Amino acid sequence: MPSQTFFNLPDRRRQNIINAAIDEFTNHSYESASISAIVNRAKIAKGSFYQYFQDKQDLYLYLVDQALEARNSFITTANLPSIQAGFFVYLRVLYQTVLEFQLANPAWSQILFRGPNHGDVPFREEVFKRTKTDTIVLIKKYVQEAIAQGQLKSDINPDLAAFMIVALSSELRSFIPFYLGIDVNQLVKDSPDLPLDAIGKILDDCIRTLEQGIGAINNDA
């Protein structure tokens, strides 16, 4: 967490540091990202950097929090359906909206998803914890609304249901490249053209599996 000294900076100076850090982390692996390069680009003394942040990890985690704020703002302003339209309808559009956020914001996507999932970020579990906790809170709210409206079973545990949905969503980030043969190294280094139709089909299948389950239905019963 940045020091209060950082937050006391004028907005423009603070944003210059953030922009320099985003540029460095999105164009280099975490290991090779350089504090010296960041302070040079931001035009601040290296000693000043350590008045603002403890170290490179502290800076990266601050950018994770900023990326989550940007993602949540993107979701808030998106044209998502209400829960009245159906919980799984809402969930499918939410998945699509998060995908659109990643495509529209490749720098945030690199910091929030690609670096931790496919790169060399050594504290990836802390990044995953922050992203999952933030998303679970959001999903739980809509699970509870869906239960209240009779769209989901009344006896399910909202915390567990939200956790399972978010865990599945997180694992999709590994499954999709594997299943579609996408080079994860290219994901880290570049912003390649992605097979959006194929990814959309996987998202549809995921939602259908969540909604219908995987047990065989006995039509004779």
What the chain holds in terms of domains, given with CATH numbers, is 4-54 (1.10.10.60), 60-212 (1.10.357.10)
Evaluate if pTM is beyond 0.75: yes
pLDDT-based confidence at 41, cuts 50/70/90?
very high
Average pLDDT of the residues in 36-51: 95
Cβ proximity of 115 and 30 under 8 Å: yes
Compute the distance between CA of residue 166 and CA of residue 171 in angstroms, rounded to an integer: 9
pLDDT of residue 214: 80
Query: What average pLDDT does range 161-177 have in this prediction?
Result: 89
Two tokens at 9? 């900076």
Kindly indicate the confidence band of residue 111, based on its pLDDT and cuts at 50, 70 and 90. very high
